[in-house]
Amino acid sequence: MHRQTALITGCSSGFGKLIATTFHDNDWNVIATMRSPEQETDLASGEHMLATRLDVNDSQSIEAAFSAGEAEFGFIDTVVNNAGYGGYGLFEQASESDMRSMFETNLFGPINIMRVALPKMRASGTGTIINVTSMAGHMALPGNSIYSASKHAMVGLTEAMALEYRPLGIRIFSVAPGAYPTTRFTANTDKRIDEGDAELVAYSNRLREQINSVGAQMASESGKIADPQEVADRVYACATSEMPIHSPTGADAEMLIAMMGQDNRQDFLDRIGTMLVPGN
Ligand SMILES: NC(=O)c1ccc[n+]([C@@H]2O[C@H](COP(=O)([O-])OP(=O)(O)OC[C@H]3O[C@@H](n4cnc5c(N)ncnc54)[C@H](OP(=O)(O)O)[C@@H]3O)[C@@H](O)[C@H]2O)c1
């Protein structure tokens, strides 16, 4: 049987590494992209695995990674936009450059990738794109306004593009994780908490404590530690089976998004798609 190929961004850690391993374990060719492949030890290039450099903010590195992947494996069937970062902080604790950098990576990064992938997929009349968004892309989280804004943009972009590209044979999905203990994501989160004047710092610390305590309570009520492999499995399911456009993933995300009454959203989107998008 034809072995399919996936290109994944942000494979140096967290979900990206697990997504790469999951596809590889399921007999896919994997182009595991990362900013510093020379430091990578787990996902070394080998049989059906190409570990190669790609910075989502560097167009040349994107073109080079696609070319290297195509030279090795041929057509790239699935692209996973996973690279991104978060960070706790009040709106005023972020500088303009912090805000622009976050949008560059979390929104324009996937846009840069999709602008390269889509013409190739359209020429083949097939392909799948999976965007790792966030629960924060469906419900805005205090203390995460810029991150929430970047992920809301990604959720909106994905939703419109999923409908737009469906008649052209290209499937586009959002996998929206809740909170997961991926080490770097968690380690980097609080670096702005002590920025700004005394009022901001005191309020930011109080808000953080409250968020941590609600998070801990939800985790203890659910009775299990969120396993990041769930996200990798959901991404793989999108690549290989019929799935809704939006996949909230994790007990917290599923519960909070259902609380927002979005559980019938797929029916709504199907109606909008039928109403507005001509068939091919
Ligand atoms: N963990 C969570 O609770 C959670 C929840 C919802 C959504 N998410 C989303 O899940 C995705 C993966 O996060 P994670 O939790 O696995 O965190 P992570 O372990 O910090 O991984 C993030 C990955 O993105 C890469 N990256 C950052 N900027 C990049 C750039 N400019 N170009 C290429 N790669 C870049 C990092 O590479 P370097 O090693 O080079 O920095 C790293 O490989 C992100 O989009 C994040 O927003 C995470």
pLDDT at 150: 98
Ligand 1 pocket at CB < 6 A: 9-10, 12-16, 34-36, 55-57, 82-86, 105, 109, 132, 134, 177, 179-180, 182, 184-185
In percent, how much of the chain has pLDDT > 90? 74
Average pLDDT, the chain: 93
pLDDT value of residue 186: 67
For 167, the token pair is 């008649």
- The whole-angstrom separation of Cα 206 and Cα 183 is 23
pLDDT of residue 213: 87
Residue 55 — very low, low, confident or very high, per pLDDT cuts 50/70/90?
Answer: very high
* pLDDT over 70 percentage in the chain: 97
Q: What is the distance between the alpha carbons of residues 180 and 10, in angstroms, rounded to a whole number?
A: 16
Q: What is the pLDDT of residues 120-158, one digit of tens each?
A: 999 999 999 999 999 999 988 889 999 999 999 999 999
Q: Give pLDDT, residue 266.
A: 80
Confidence at residue 263, expressed as pLDDT on a 0 to 100 scale: 59
In the reported structure, the alpha carbon of residue 243 is separated from the centroid of ligand 1 by a whole-number distance in angstroms of: 23
Rounded to an integer, what distance in angstroms lies between the CA atom of residue 271 and that of residue 245? 13
pLDDT digits (tens, 9 = 90+) for 183-207: 777 666 788 899 999 999 999 999 9
Tell me the CA–centroid distance for residue 277 and ligand 1, in Å.
33
Of the listed ranges 44-48, 100-104, 244-248, the least confidently predicted one is: 44-48
DSSP assignments along 96-150, one per residue: HHHHHHHHIIIIIHHHHHHHHHHHHHHHHT-EEEEEE--GGGTS--TTBHHHHHH
Q: Cβ–Cβ contacts within 10 Å for residue 214, how many?
A: 11
What does the pLDDT read at residue 80? 99
Residue 250, classed as helix, strand or coil, is coil
Decide if 147 is catalytic: yes
Q: Strand, helix or coil at 78?
A: strand
Identify the residue with better confidence: 271 or 176. 176
Give residue for tokens 């960070």.
87
What is the structure's pLDDT at 188? 67
pLDDT of 280 higher than 70? no
What tens digit of pLDDT does each residue of 228-238 get?
Answer: 999 999 999 99
Which residue out of 85, 88, 147, 203 is catalytically annotated?
Answer: 147
Between the CA of 106 and the centroid of ligand 1 the distance, in Å, is: 9
Q: Atom 17, ligand 1: which residue's CA is nearest?
A: 185
Q: Which domains does the chain have, with CATH numbers?
A: 5-193+226-276 (3.40.50.720)
Q: Which pLDDT belongs to residue 248?
A: 94
CA of 276 to the centre of ligand 1 (A): 34
Q: Which has more confidence, 277 or 166? A: 166
